[in-house]
Structures are given as C-alpha cells and as structure tokens.
Amino acid sequence: MVKIDLKDSSAVVIIGSGAGGGTLANELCQKGIKVILLEAGKHYTISDFKNDEWPSFSQLAWLDKRTTSGNWRVAKDFPNLPAWICKTVGGTTTHWAGASLRIQAHEFKAKTTYGDINGTNLADWPLSLKDLEPYYDRAEDKMGVTRTNGIPGLPGNNNFKVMYAGAKRLGYKEVHTGRMAINSRPRHGRAACQQIGFCFQGCKSGAKWSTLYVEIPAAESTGNLDLRSESHVLQIQHDAKGKINGVLYTDKDGAQHLQKARIVCVAGNSIETPRLLLNSSSSTYPDGLANSSGQVGRNYMRHTTGSVYATFEKPVRMYRGTTMAGIITDENKHDPKRGFASGYEMETVSLGLPFMAAFLDPGTWGKQFSAFLDAYDHMAGMWIVGEDMPQEKNRVTLHKTEKDQHGLPIPNVHFDDHDNDIAMRNHAYKQGTLVYEAAGATKVWETPPYPSTHNLGTCRMSTKSGNGVCNKFGQSHDIKNLFISDGSQFTTGAAENPTLTIVTLAIRQADYIAEQMGRQNI
Amino acid sequence: MENKGLNRRQFLYNSGKVLATVVVASSGAVSLVFPGTAWSLSVTVLNEHESNTLLKMTRQIYPHDTVDDKFYAVVVKMFDSDASADEKTAKQIKDGITKLDNLAQGKWIALSEDKQNTILKKIETSAFFQQIRSKCITAIYDNKDLWQQFGYEGSSAEHGGYINRGFDDLDWLEDPPETASPKAH
C-alpha cells in the first residue's frame, strides 16, 4: 500500500470507508488518482466477525455517545443510540442486509409527485432516474445484485416461505426473494451465500458485498490507496480564500496529524458528516462548512420503519438463512387513497433471541411479552421500509455542553414523526398483520422502529444553492473542492434501502471528480 | 393467553414454598439454599428477604415456566455485586424493595401473582425497576445455556450455515414457485 506524505497536497482525502467512501476510493484509484482513505474505526477481517449479536454489536457499531430529542420512539427507548451504524473499515456495509433496490422515477420528483404537504421541506432531486440508470447498471454489476445481470435470485428461507404464502393469499402480486447484493452463486471471486443467518453481524462467507473486502482491496491493488484506520477526523481546514486544503485527524494513539489535500470528500454517514462540517466552523465559515443555506444537518430522514413479528402453530426458525431475502413490493407506489403520500416495502427480517428480547418492544415486560418469546422458533418477521417526509426541524446539531473523547461537541439527533410517516406506518402494520394472519398466525406483534440504519438527507443535493448543501454531483455549493459522498446527499428518502443508490452516486461522483481534476477546475 | 390450570411451578410459587432458607457462612456471606435444588445463591449485601424479593421480581418481569430459578438468580447476584461495590446502588435496591412492601402494605412477595403484578406496574418507570428489567434482558435472553430451550441455535458459520441444514425446511405451507424463490446453487 502506498504511503502518502502528510504535506503532499495532491491527493483526494475521503473521510469514511463505507458504501459511499469505500466505493468512491476504489473508483478514483482505478482512474489513477491518489486517495487517502481515513476511517475512524478498526480494520477487521471476515474471520474476526462473530455470529453472536451483542459481542458483534460491541465490535462493529458506532458507540460514541450521541443524544436524541423529538417525539420519535427511539428517543425514549434508546436515548443515546439514535442509529445502529458502524465504526469500522467497511463502515455499515459490514452490517447492512444487502437489499439493493433502485429509487423509482416518481420518487426523484418527490415535490412534484406528492405536492405541498404541510410541515415538509420536500424538493425534487436535481437529477432523474434516467440520469442515474447507467450508474445503477454499474453499481449492480459491481455489487452482484441478484435478479440483475443474469444473476439468479437467492433461494427463499423459512421466513420467506411464510411471507410468500401470506402475501399471495392476501392478493399481493410482487413477492420474491429480492434484489440482493449477496451472491446466489460464486461470482467475481466471492463465494455463494451459505444461508448462515447472521447478515447483520458481518458476512462470514463474504457472499454479501461490502467495501471491506471488495472495493478497498481492489483500490489497494492499484497502488493508489493509502488507507488509515483508527483515524478520526476532527476538522476540515481551508486556506485564506476559503478553499479546502487539508484535514486534522487523530490516530489510535491520540496523536494529531494535519493531512494536506487537493479535494476532501465526506462520507461519515448522515450524523457524522454534518457534525464534522459544523465542527469545522471558522471565521470565514462561522456556521460551519458548506452551510450558507443553513441546511447542513437539516432534513434528517431515517425511513418510516417498524416490524411485524407473528407466531404460528408450527415451527418457522426464521433466523436460519439470509436475513432479508424476501420482499413484497406492491405497496411501494404513490397512492394517496391509502391516506398518505408515497409508499413502503415489506422485507423479511429476523433477530436472534438476544436482540429479539431487546428490540421486540423495548421496555415492555410481563406474561404476554414472555409468552411471545417462548414461541421464538415459531416466529416469522418482516421489516417495513417506507419513505418519510423531510422536515427542516428534524436535524443533527452540535450538543451545547457534552463533548466526545476528542473534546468535540457530540451530535444531537432530533426527529419528530410527520403525520404522513405515522399514517404510513399504521397502514404497513395493518397490512403486515393481514399477511401473517393469512398464513395462519396465532399472535402478531407490532414492533416499533429500531435505532436508525438508514440515515439520510442531512447535506442534501439541490438545484439551487439556497435550498440545499450540494449539487447533483455531491459537490458542495459553497466550496468547489468539498464533496458529500454518502446518504447525506439524498434530497428525499424514497422507499428503497439506500445503499445501492449511495454506491451509484459514488460511481458517478468519481467520474465527475476525475473530469473536473483533468480540467484543473478543482 | 391465561393459563387456567396451575402448573407445578406456579403452585409452588403461590404457596411460597420456593422461598430460600438461609445459611450464614463464617465469612459473613449469606447462602440462600432453595429446597429441592442443587444450587444456592451467595449474597453479601442483600439479606434473605431482599434476595427472595428480587428473585421473584425477575421472574414476574419475564416469566418463563421452563426457565429454572438459577438463571433468574444471576440477576440477583449481579445486583448484590453492584451493591457491595457501590453504596448508592445498595440504597437504591433496599429503598426499592421497601417501597414495594409499602405499596403491598406488608410483604410484596406474600401477595398473589396478580396483586404483585399490579404493584410492579405502579413502579415500572422507576430507575429501580428499569435496572432490574434491563439486566434481565441480557442475563436471560443472552444466556447461551438457555438458547436451546427457546429454540434458538446461535452461531452457525462454523457448521457451514444452514445451506444444508434446513434453512428452507418449513413444510406446512405451499412452497413458493421458482420464479419467486429459485433453487439453491
């Protein structure tokens, strides 16, 4: 691996090695561009992953303290854990379930499609599905998404069998084992899925796409990547003209380093990315970097989620096999007759016994709760993923008093459910219940949202500079050599699991950065 | 969901026969010995009444007829350790139990299960109750010795996953067509 000097100001510095940062790093390295990839977390390998929920959580999750506010239930159940995302090389692509769905054409035009909805900050994306299609093609090929590129779907597990039977009896048409970035057969040097069942804990077979063992090694083999793990960026710095010229970071021993840079790309997920921009305020940028619009940290979205678990007379053993290879897409459409704008997916999900007890209905106790867990091996489960409304007041801010281990203000995540979010969740709970009742459920449990895995929108892209943080390439409106490279860019949330689109945007951004560098524009 | 017929364990509880008897060791530590069982619980700060009350509380919070008392006793042991390390915790536990008995106008543990539950409901938002509840979540459900009886098989990678071990062995519903669920590779 190449070692780039701290004073070398010719490289691109990327902060964060997950879906956005890890992919962008590889794409740039393949074009011959030198990249320094700074990752706050440790560098593990597949053999380090654990099929054991709590120890794996301690190993991979971002556990630095955060606070919460707002009326969302996560603030009550998990006041210091708003999000279940990762601090490790590979970021949350170690933990993600693999569901890879394209955003639909109408979802890119959210404001046009849904109209004015009170209390929302809806906008159309500055790009269309047509703009992204060639990049979606490249992302699906790179990730090996099933049901694309001639790759067969995954075989359905027991949990899917229950979903399928109930959905069909209820009259749903689009039910299958999903478009998954998990190999159904060996491909591109990666093994086929072994139906291990611990997708959330890091894939032990490597069948699931992750930047940890796909993009990052590919980038390293070009000789253009300088990966530095356990390197937490404290501040992005600029010169007298306001142009970005480096980043200050701390290494695992607490020593601080100033790395010079030609371009800085931020991909720390939608909580850390705005936090870093806000923590980098200066006399030139008193409200934080790239924040002339005041939109940095705002419009935080996390999908309208929830789960439905049901028990049956006979065993299911939902935990066996690929966690999320099962989907009903019939409700993912904009049909206001249902009482809300936009739509949602229903996807199979399961938790092991330790997490089921912790997340089924946090705080709940007594006979009914325990009786439900007694039927653990007779249980089936689904996760609801729907589009939530962007609201300006839902935002990531810097805590006024609390500091992290590096002395920097910790983030507070404020979220209030919008009426549209609540109406959608209630509709999904009802439909999910009907699916399982059609399959013969004896008891159904509506599970509240888990800490957020889909964190989006806090540095959104916009046509006009006053209405968002970056343009359609993720380039900040205010500072030409500062890019947003993760889900923070999303103008609206859409109803699809976001990783495929994050990867797609990263591929497109790499093309744009290379072209702009070639023209000496940045 | 109400079970009309009392099973043996519930009967024992209601009749109060599982209450531990106390053996005081020369070290000053107290061992609670449960009739008809092969295990005992050593406590240093908590007394007999407090230990028995905590044990009953843990079972009332997450009642599983098939789970032996010794697994719930792990939580009591944790509290005893915490209490011996920290006076504030000791006071919180002792005050919590006093409050429970005050609400019961006597000994909470001597009440019927229904009445015990009614009183627990009144204190469910207290830090005392929540601490016990959250400790139970890991002590019981993250205890590998209990996974099998809940039907959870735990780690699977070292066994090659479930590709050849029943990931799709459910046979009481119609199988999906191959368009929806292709055959495994």
Q: How many CB atoms lie within 10 A of CB A226?
A: 22
* Closest chain B residue by Cα to residue A152: B182
What residues contact residue A418 under an 8 Å CB cut-off, 6+ apart?
A117, A119, A120, A388, A389, A391
Inter-chain contact A319–B152, Cβ cutoff 8 Å?
Answer: yes
Dist CA B35 CA B17 (whole Å): 8
pLDDT band for position B19 (cuts 50, 70, 90): low
Dist CA B63 CA A387 (whole Å): 38
Nearest CA of chain A to the CA of B168: how many Å?
A: 5
SS3 assignment, position A235: strand
The pLDDT, as a whole number, for residue B29 is 64
The pLDDT, as a whole number, for residue B9 is 40
CB B60 within 8 A of CB B120: yes
- DSSP character string of chain B: ----S--HHHHHHHTTTTPPEEEE-TTS-EEEE-TT-S-EEEESSS-HHHHHHHHHHHHHHS--TTS-HHHHHHHHHHHHHHHHH-HHHHHHHHHHHHHHHHHHTS-GGGS-HHHHHHHHHHTTTSHHHHHHHHHHHHHHHT-HHHHHHHT-----GGGTTTTTTTTT---SSPPPPTTTSPPP-
A165 dihedral zone (left: phi>0; alpha: psi -120 to 50; beta): alpha
Model confidence pLDDT, tens digit, residues B89-117: 899 999 999 999 999 999 999 999 999 99
CA end-to-end span of chain B, whole Å?
43
Average confidence (pLDDT) over B31-52: 80
Give the pair of three-digit tokens for residue B124: 């469910």
What residues contact residue A52 under an 8 Å CB cut-off, 6+ apart?
A201, B154, B155
The pLDDT, as a whole number, for residue B43 is 83
pTM of the model: 0.95
CB A97 within 8 A of CB A497: yes
pLDDT band for position B168 (cuts 50, 70, 90): very high
What residues contact residue A96 under an 8 Å CB cut-off, 6+ apart?
A19, A199, A208, A210, A453, A497, A499
CB A451 within 8 A of CB A305: no
Inter-chain contact A162–B157, Cβ cutoff 8 Å?
Answer: no
Model confidence pLDDT, tens digit, residues B74-94: 999 999 999 999 999 899 999
* Nearest Cα to Cα of residue A38 among A11, A61, A75: A11
A282-290: list long-range contacts, CB under 8 Å, 24+ apart: A282/A237, A282/A238, A284/A238, A284/A242, A285/A238, A285/A242, A285/A478, A289/A236, A289/A238, A289/A244, A289/A476, A289/A478, A289/A479, A289/A482, A290/A459, A290/A469, A290/A470, A290/A476, A290/A477, A290/A478, A290/A479, A290/A482, A290/A484
Find the length of chain B: 185
* Nearest Cα to Cα of residue A78 among A478, A406, A300, A359: A359
Question: B 134-153 residues with CB below 8 A of A?
Answer: 137-138, 140-142, 147, 150-153
Question: B 155-184 residues with CB below 8 A of A?
Answer: 155-158, 160-163, 165-170, 172-176, 179-184
Residues above pLDDT 90, as percent of chain B: 73
In the predicted model, residues of chain A with pLDDT beneath 70 are none
The pLDDT, as a whole number, for residue B44 is 85
Report chain B residues whose CB lies below 8 A from the CB of A374: 64, 66, 150
Nearest CA of chain A to the CA of B133: how many Å?
A: 8
